[in-house]
Amino acid sequence: MARPREDLAARFWAKVDKRGPDECWPWTGGKRRKGYGAIGEGGRGGKMLVASRLAYELQNGPIPEGHQVLHSCDNPPCCNGAHLFTGTNLDNIGDMREKGRQRYVGGPRKLTEEQRQAIRLDTRPQDDIARDFGVDQSTISRIKREVSLQSLHGPLT
Ligand SMILES: [Zn+2]
């Protein structure tokens, strides 16, 4: 993520509905499942970035390795740096559990069961799907293989 950074920041802010300092600043650009904003990194073969991660980096600084960006306001499209904090996967699981949300499925990166289901049903080339979800093609391949295992051996629990 080196070069098109400035351009990326400009494109990012153009898609944020910036409001008062305490309010949520909703992302107005493209969204992924569960309402997370998404923005292309730019450049050839650029990845899709999660808007809230970019929001955090632009306003609060680098995200510690292995951490995710979480919302104190519980509003996934929000890009107000004051509402964003980082935590590990485990924090996220705890956070979700506290909020009584759906079970967080661990495994490849931060994909939820919902997203994995969508990946299994996606008929596009695996590279395209991988780019969309911000994971490696090998992850997509693994998720898609899980389904054939399931049909052979019954549900994996
Ligand atoms: Zn917010």
Encoded tokens for 131: 């780019």
Q: How far is the CA of 44 from the centre of ligand 1 (A)?
A: 32
Q: How far is the CA of 109 from the centre of ligand 1 (A)?
A: 24
Burial 86-112 (b: 16+ CB within 10 A, else e): bbeeeebeebeeeeeeeebeeebebbb
Q: How far is the CA of 82 from the centre of ligand 1 (A)?
A: 8
Q: How far is the CA of 144 from the centre of ligand 1 (A)?
A: 34
Q: How far is the CA of 156 from the centre of ligand 1 (A)?
A: 37
Q: How many domains would you assign to the chain?
A: 2
Cα 51 to chain center, whole Å? 8
pLDDT for 5: 66
pLDDT for 155: 52
pTM score of the predicted model? 0.55
* Domain match, 118 and 94 both: no
* Domain match, 29 and 84 both: yes
Q: How far is the CA of 65 from the centre of ligand 1 (A)?
A: 23
HSE at residue 3, side-chain half, CA atoms within 13 A, is: 4
Q: How far is the CA of 26 from the centre of ligand 1 (A)?
A: 7
Q: Determine, yes or no, domain membership for 33.
A: yes
pLDDT for 102: 45
Q: How far is the CA of 79 from the centre of ligand 1 (A)?
A: 7
pLDDT for 53: 94
Output the CA angle 138-107-123, nearest 5 degrees.
Answer: 45
Q: How far is the CA of 22 from the centre of ligand 1 (A)?
A: 8
* Domain match, 23 and 90 both: yes
Q: Determine, yes or no, domain membership for 138.
A: yes
Are the beta carbons of 77 and 84 closer than 8 angstroms?
no
Contacts from 30-34 at CB under 8 Å and sequence distance 24+? Answer: 31/77, 32/132, 32/133, 33/112, 33/114, 33/115, 33/118, 34/76, 34/112, 34/114, 34/115
Q: How far is the CA of 154 from the centre of ligand 1 (A)?
A: 41
User: pLDDT tens track of the chain, all 157 residues?
Assistant: 445 567 899 999 999 999 999 999 999 999 887 778 999 988 788 888 999 999 999 999 999 888 889 899 989 899 999 999 998 766 665 666 555 544 434 444 567 878 888 888 889 999 998 888 888 888 888 888 875 554 555 554 4
Q: How far is the CA of 145 from the centre of ligand 1 (A)?
A: 37
Q: Determine, yes or no, domain membership for 106.
A: no
Distances (CA, A) of 7 to 3, 11, 12, 39, 51: 9, 6, 8, 12, 15
DSSP 43: S
* Domain match, 139 and 74 both: no
Are the beta carbons of 4 and 44 closer than 8 angstroms?
no
Domain carrying residue 75: 5-98
Phi, psi of 5 (to 5 degrees): -65, -50
pLDDT for 105: 40
